């Protein structure tokens, strides 16, 4: 069998080991695709120009496999790759980093780090020192005893949950299949409306899809207690941002710590920027895929016909997914 060529972006280590029968070819994901790339069998995507998947679909006719290292893959699936091309994503590569960021936002919300930073910038001693309330029914101030609902209980949610529990939180997951997962109770979507009125902290980790668009809509936002905080590290499209802004402005919920938005970068005219109960981070939860070399190697082996695919989101002709 002839050697397969795998295009590796210069945004990662392009010297990672390749299985026998494969050769890594570095490419600049910010630059036009070279003429020599047209013979490539595989393409790894990480960072680069937004239109790179669309250009690759048009300009790389020999592709049989596309690997994005991002957990999200909507733009890759929609790029127009031939049906024979197997598409895989970076599920699990971001579990630890996104969970870490979600924990940071949760703690920042409970301890109101945003208020401290504003006071610091104005050289003002915050009035939130000294005696403090521990009753989340009056204001969300602690994870100890907090009722936390993690909506989207996959790898990220299951990585986050033990850290929240360690700090005393009562954690429930929401997923398609119910029961117990990683030692935590998991309920179905049908139970969300029942649990929202009892939630102190709602953590959204849903992927972007038509099915999940505005999963947290105005009706569901109204079900949350006026003291509840929202953390979103999934996709911005899963929250009705306009409805959220209205609820925040009216004091119908306690606050929101957001890493993702419906439009990114968040437009300067967004009312979220000026709200004193909103914490904003610039889609910074991921960005550091862990273990990508092993994922690439496994899928190169599958491309060579010597193993099973991992993280398949669309099977190409003849591809056998690992489930």
Beta strand spans in 183-254 (E):
184-187, 201-204, 229-232
Q: How far apart are CA 57 and CA 309, in angstroms?
A: 21
Q: How far apart are CA 138 and CA 263, in angstroms?
A: 33
Neighbours of 220 (CB within 10 A): 18
Neighbours of 113 (CB within 10 A): 15
Q: How far apart are CA 46 and CA 58, in angstroms?
A: 18
Angle at alpha carbon of residue 275, lines to 210 and 121, rounded to 5°? 130
Q: Which active-site residues does the annotation give?
A: 235, 264, 283
- Domains in the chain, ordered, with CATH? 4-93+289-314 (3.40.50.720), 95-280 (3.40.50.720)
Question: Quick check: 284 and 105 in contact, CB under 8 A?
Answer: no
- Which residues, including other chains, have CB under 8 Å from residue 267's CB and lie 6 or more apart? none
| Residue 301, both tokens | 């082996």
| Residue 53, both tokens | 């998947």
Report, as ranges of residue numbers, the positions in the chain whose pLDDT lies below 70: 1, 318-323
Which pLDDT does position 13 carry in this prediction? 97
Question: Quick check: 85 and 316 in contact, CB under 8 A?
Answer: yes
Which pLDDT does position 260 carry in this prediction? 98
Which pLDDT does position 1 carry in this prediction? 60
Which pLDDT does position 323 carry in this prediction? 43
Nearest to 111 by CA among 257, 290, 280, 298: 257
What's the pTM? 0.92
Secondary structure, 3-state, 203-217: EECCCCCCCCCCCEC
Q: Which residue has the tokens 């050697």?
A: 3
């Amino acid at each position: 069998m002839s050697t397969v060529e795998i295009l590796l972006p210069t945004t990662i280590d392009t010297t990672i080991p390749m299985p026998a029968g494969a050769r890594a070819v570095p490419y600049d994901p910010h630059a036009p695709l070279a003429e020599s790339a047209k013979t490539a069998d595989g393409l790894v995507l990480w960072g680069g120009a937004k239109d790179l998947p669309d250009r690759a679909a048009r300009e790389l006719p020999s592709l049989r496999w596309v690997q994005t290292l991002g957990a999200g893959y909507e733009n890759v699936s929609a790029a127009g790759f031939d049906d024979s091309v197997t598409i895989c994503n970076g599920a699990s590569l971001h579990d630890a980093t996104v969970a870490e960021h979600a924990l940071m936002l949760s703690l920042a919300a409970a301890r109101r780090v945003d208020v401290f930073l504003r006071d610091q910038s104005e050289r003002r001693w915050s009035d939130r020192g000294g005696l403090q309330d521990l009753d989340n029914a009056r204001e969300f101030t602690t994870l100890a005893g907090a009722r936390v609902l993690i909506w989207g209980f996959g790898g990220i949610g299951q990585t986050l949950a033990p850290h929240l529990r360690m700090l005393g939180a009562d954690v429930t997951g929401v997923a398609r299949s119910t029961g117990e997962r990683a030692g935590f109770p998991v309920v179905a979507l049908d139970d969300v409306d029942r649990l929202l009125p009892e939630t102190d902290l709602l953590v959204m980790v849903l992927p972007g899809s038509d099915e999940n668009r505005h999963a947290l809509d105005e009706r569901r936002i109204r079900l949350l207690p006026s003291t509840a905080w929202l953390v979103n590290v999934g996709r911005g499209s899963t929250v009705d941002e306009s409805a959220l802004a209205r609820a925040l402005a009216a004091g119908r919920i306690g606050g929101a710590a957001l890493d993702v938005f419906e439009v990114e970068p968040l437009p300067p005219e967004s009312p979220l920027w000026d709200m004193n109960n909103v914490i904003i981070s610039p889609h910074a939860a991921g960005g550091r895929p862990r273990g990508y070399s092993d994922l690439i190697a496994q899928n190169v082996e599958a491309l060579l016909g010597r193993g099973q695919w991992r993280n398949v989101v669309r099977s190409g002709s003849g591809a056998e997914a690992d489930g």
